[in-house]
C-alpha cells in the first residue's frame, strides 16, 4: 500500500447537472463531491472499490453533519478536501470542506463518520491494518 496522507484534495467543476434552476449548487451535489474526494483518498491508499469489494470490504457513511456556508455556482471550480480526524478500530472520522478556488472561500463543510463493513454480512469489521497504519503514520 502506498504512503497515504491524512488529508486529500480533489478538484471539481460545477456543471449544470449539479445546480438548481438558478445556477446555484443543489445541496445534494455537495454530498456527491465529498463522496468523490473520499473515494479518491481511498484510491490513493491502494483501496479502489473493485479491490475492496473482492475482499468483502466496503465503507459506508454512518453519520454526516453538513453546514452550508455560501453557495457555489455554475462553472466555478472547487476544491473538496478530506481530512481524517480520528481513526477507530472499524471507523474513520472525517472533516470535509468545499472551497471556491477563485476566492478561497468555504462553501460547505461536513463532519462525518464512515464505518468499515463486511459486504457479506453488512456488519462492522476492523479497518484494514495497512490503512490504519498508513493513515496514522503521516
Task: Flag whether pLDDT at 135 surpasses 50.
Answer: yes
Q: Is residue 110 assigned to a domain? A: yes
pLDDT at 15: 98
Q: 76 with 102: CB under 8 angstroms?
A: yes
Q: Is residue 103 assigned to a domain? A: yes
User: What integer best gives the mean pLDDT of the chain?
Assistant: 91
The pLDDT confidence band at residue 1, using thresholds 50, 70 and 90, is very low
- With cell 476492523, the residue in question is 126
Point out the catalytic residue in the list 18, 20, 56, 75.
20
Q: Is residue 118 assigned to a domain? A: yes
Q: 114 with 38: CB under 8 angstroms?
A: yes
pLDDT at 44: 85
Q: Is 83 exposed, middle or buried (0-12, 13-18, 19+ CB in 10 A)?
A: middle
The CATH number of the domain holding residue 113 is 3.10.129.10
Instruction: Respond yes or no: is residue 20 known to be catalytic.
Output: yes
Encode pLDDT of 53-86 as tens digits.
Answer: 888 999 999 999 999 999 999 999 999 999 999 9
Q: Is residue 85 assigned to a domain? A: yes
Task: Flag whether pLDDT at 138 surpasses 70.
Answer: no
Q: Is residue 67 assigned to a domain? A: yes
Q: Is residue 94 assigned to a domain? A: yes
Task: Flag whether pLDDT at 45 surpasses 90.
Answer: no
- With cell 473515494, the residue in question is 39
Listing from the earlier edge strand, what are the strands of the sheet with 58-68?
7-13, 77-87, 91-100, 106-117, 58-68
Classify the phi-psi angles of 122: left when phi > 0, otherwise alpha if psi is within -120 to 50, otherwise beta.
Answer: left
Enter the DSSP assignment of 49. H
For the chain, how many structural domains are there in total? 1
**Residue range of the domain that includes 89:** 7-136
- With cell 473520499, the residue in question is 38
pLDDT at 49: 84
Q: Give 38's contacts (C-beta < 8 A, 6+ positions apart).
A: 59, 82, 94, 96, 114
Q: pTM of the prediction?
A: 0.90
Amino acid at each position: 500500500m502506498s504512503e497515504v496522507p491524512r488529508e486529500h484534495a480533489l478538484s471539481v467543476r460545477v456543471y449544470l447537472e449539479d445546480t438548481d434552476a438558478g445556477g446555484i449548487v443543489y445541496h445534494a451535489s455537495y454530498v456527491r463531491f465529498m463522496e468523490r474526494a473520499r473515494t479518491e483518498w481511498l484510491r490513493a491508499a491502494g483501496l479502489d472499490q473493485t479491490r475492496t469489494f473482492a475482499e468483502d470490504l466496503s465503507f459506508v457513511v454512518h453519520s454526516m453533519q453538513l453546514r452550508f456556508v455560501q453557495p457555489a455556482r455554475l462553472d466555478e471550480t472547487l476544491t473538496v478536501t478530506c481530512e481524517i480526524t480520528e481513526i477507530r478500530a472499524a471507523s474513520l472520522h472525517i472533516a470535509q470542506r468545499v472551497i471556491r478556488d477563485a476566492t478561497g472561500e468555504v462553501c460547505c463543510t461536513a463532519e462525518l463518520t464512515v464505518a468499515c463493513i463486511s459486504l457479506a454480512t453488512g456488519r462492522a469489521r476492523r479497518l484494514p491494518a495497512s490503512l490504519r497504519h498508513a493513515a496514522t503514520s503521516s
